[in-house]
Structure 1
């Protein structure tokens, strides 16, 4: 049972809430103004029901002062005139919830069962890094051992793994644990750069060498001198560019567009989610480049094959989501059970998104099963029976559902979704516009860019 402080300038509302709370078995006390409410706060108060619109000191100011205290109680803001502005401001300042008057007894009962205990976890002083490689499963132990053996060599490493498994993290770990750790780490997503720009992005160019070359560009290879160059999604590299990469790996020389050959000192680490041996057999990837890249292969198992890593990863992402000086949330038993039962088609990236969403939207100190929303697949599944209506309508219904499912499974990555659907990315983008699928359904930026791309 909770000890609740009611702060409201309306006598009838105070009395009604007081009576409802005592009938539900709780202890209640009242205050008729913001200043009186602040004066009544004590360590025994576990929750505050706070009116927003009061004369003198309004509810927002009272909330701000309560939240500034050490170990503050949960505050639920009540208002008869809810607006986007006061709702956003109240939640931003740390309100547990923002409710519109009148509040019924059943709603009050439910609210009180959700309130966190006043015994809050200590504020976080620990730090967590996005670059931390988490996992103690047998599959991840093999990855970690391979990183340790390959880090200090000059050999080219080829990382295999499904989208979202953390291929760039492995590449960064190779860099951080190598003698090149003080040098730059440069990541290039080969799938996100148009073929006619990829050579310039990688090798650089000389001013005036082509239309639009208004200044010299060093390129990724020289940017990564004495460091590591990570070529992500190398399976999507055009054949003509593959020949030039092979030459660089063999001769350790690059030639900027319109320029003269210069030495390349960067170590190359490549990654792909595709089966390069099949691409070689299909004539879509050079066999000689495949063997030149695949000196040290590292295969990252999908998350569904290493369930022992799910909880440590989730706890790590909870820590990452904690704001400096704020309490660290905990994963409840129900949340852990739900996380470990899920198949995680989007792998570690999807797990991080789910945990971060739960941390942001859950005011309680404990994340429960109901706070875990695994993916858009839960609400956008293919229809159980055949589509209805005429044939064009039925085809459109099925097409939209398949696009939604592909985007959800790929964490919104349009390049990967298009590949799974066996269509090109521009066609996918056109169909997304036709069906009104916004950027919320696909987080990948449609503009090609150099750098990270969801791995």
Structure 2
């Protein structure tokens, strides 16, 4: 039997929760405000857990949680934050403060029973909470956020919140277009390094021969064209966060050098004998299966374990369909805030969006909404306005049918050539981005383009 403090200004909800907890065999104490709760917690009464409402008139649940964590006798108290308005910022901030769980109202009896079992098993671990004070709005559309309230995405948000309270290296995985760089920026903004630089590097976009100079910098005269000293991107990120996107494309020789930097926290610029001490949080991302890359000996095993300290996986959009319509509406609203016409989705358009497979994930959805925001024929987006979403499927059927009549080697060549041309067309000739979409290295793309005489 546990003694649980319930903090909520909603009398009906507070009393209902107390009754449920009582039925489960626990004692409860109720507080109608954050100040009342802090008065109780400043005393000597034993509390095994606290259920804390996020929105209260006197002070927010986050304010209460921050003060609870400052009380020496209550620092390990498991706190469960409850809210009717879950956002990514709330969840991430709450987990950064050491919350155990973050639940959205209403909360069922079975969920409460399961949660209390977890709290008991954790032997007094912290609980879950929230941070922001309002729903997500279009007005702050430029702020990096992981939008969505699906359970799959909430798990990633909670991991980001926990990771933000540390300086540990983070490995973000997920398909192309799921928002890995956004996740890295959200992590940086939620961390203690938020006021220091965030430096992002796409490992697939930099030629192998230039990578060392790009990362570590070089001394004057280190090589032809090095007419002045140049600080590398790692030094530029000093005190902040270094984000290495597409880490799976980093050449093996550079993998060894990056491993040394992570282990020793020093680097040596190209052409220099000076060791420079660095203080950076390293976050890396990839759409590749690094475990398979390690098995294939194309990625160093020792580096993988150095990077995979806190893994965060971003689910593909098809595995969180409940987020599709809210994301689509957000992107339409963001386009309107940038000067475009106000648009909304018809029921037919919503069905079309929900039926689409979204192979390009959130990036594809964002681009689709920007397209209809600019080209839709009226304020209500119709099914016809989204007809282009069927084009890839129809094209795939046409290609498949045509390939059946060709010998296998020719069919493979044609399919590969068509895929490369389509990726280059979709990315407006951006070869680095095309390589990412195709799941190959930039050098492999160049080789194939030369072989097929593309571009």
Compute the TM-score of the two structures, normalised by the length of structure 2: 0.63
Match of 1:357 among 364, 368, 371: 371
**Superposed CA offset, 1:314-367 (max 9, x none):** 111112211546652111111111111111111111111111101111141111
Query: Structure 2: where are the runs of 5+ without partners?
Result: 1-136
Q: Which residue of 1 aligns with 2:68?
A: none
Q: State how far apart, in whole Å, the 2-side matches of 1:168 and 1:271 are.
A: 8
Q: State how far apart, in whole Å, the 2-side matches of 1:263 and 1:421 are.
A: 31
Q: State how far apart, in whole Å, the 2-side matches of 1:405 and 1:325 are.
A: 30
Q: Does 1:187 align with 2:200?
A: yes
Q: Does 1:233 align with 2:253?
A: no
Q: Which residue of 2 aligns with 1:155?
A: 168
Q: Which residue of 1 aligns with 2:392?
A: 377
Match of 2:349 among 325, 335, 338: 335
Shift of residue 309, structure 1, vs aligned partner = 1.1
On the 8 A contact 1:204/1:219 being kept in 2, the answer is yes
**Superposed CA offset, 1:177-214 (max 9, x none):** 00111111100011111111101111111111111111
Compute the TM-score of the two structures, normalised by the length of structure 1: 0.63
Q: Which residue of 1 aligns with 2:54?
A: none
Q: State how far apart, in whole Å, the 2-side matches of 1:240 and 1:420 are.
A: 19
Q: State how far apart, in whole Å, the 2-side matches of 1:137 and 1:314 are.
A: 15
Q: State how far apart, in whole Å, the 2-side matches of 1:137 and 1:230 are.
A: 26
Query: Which shows bigger deviation, 425-434 or 188-197?
Result: 425-434
Q: State how far apart, in whole Å, the 1-side matches of 2:164 and 2:226 are.
A: 37
On the 8 A contact 1:253/1:261 being kept in 2, the answer is yes
Q: Does 1:311 align with 2:331?
A: no
Q: State how far apart, in whole Å, the 1-side matches of 2:300 and 2:212 are.
A: 17
Structure exhibiting the larger radius of gyration computed from Cα positions: 1
On the 8 A contact 1:410/1:416 being kept in 2, the answer is no
Q: Which residue of 2 aligns with 1:173?
A: 186
Shift of residue 383, structure 1, vs aligned partner = 2.9
SS in 1 for 2:363: helix
Q: State how far apart, in whole Å, the 2-side matches of 1:329 and 1:133 are.
A: 22
Shift of residue 282, structure 1, vs aligned partner = 1.2
Alpha carbons of structure 1 residues 296 and 388: separation in structure 2 relative to 1, 3 Å: closer
Alpha carbons of structure 1 residues 216 and 175: separation in structure 2 relative to 1, 3 Å: same
Q: State how far apart, in whole Å, the 1-side matches of 2:351 and 2:145 are.
A: 24
Shift of residue 421, structure 1, vs aligned partner = 11
Q: Which residue of 2 aligns with 1:415?
A: 435
**Superposed CA offset, 1:258-293 (max 9, x none):** 221111111100011111111111111111111111
SS in 1 for 2:292: helix
Alpha carbons of structure 1 residues 248 and 398: separation in structure 2 relative to 1, 3 Å: closer
- How many pairs does the alignment contain? 312
Q: Does 1:215 align with 2:228?
A: yes
Alpha carbons of structure 1 residues 367 and 253: separation in structure 2 relative to 1, 3 Å: same
Match of 1:279 among 281, 293, 315: 293
Shift of residue 429, structure 1, vs aligned partner = 3.0
Alpha carbons of structure 1 residues 423 and 125: separation in structure 2 relative to 1, 3 Å: closer
Q: State how far apart, in whole Å, the 1-side matches of 2:159 and 2:392 are.
A: 35
On the 8 A contact 2:173/2:287 being kept in 1, the answer is yes
Shift of residue 419, structure 1, vs aligned partner = 3.5
Q: Which residue of 2 aligns with 1:300?
A: 314
Q: State how far apart, in whole Å, the 2-side matches of 1:334 and 1:237 are.
A: 44
Q: State how far apart, in whole Å, the 2-side matches of 1:422 and 1:172 are.
A: 24
Shift of residue 400, structure 1, vs aligned partner = 4.2
Q: Which residue of 2 aligns with 1:445?
A: none
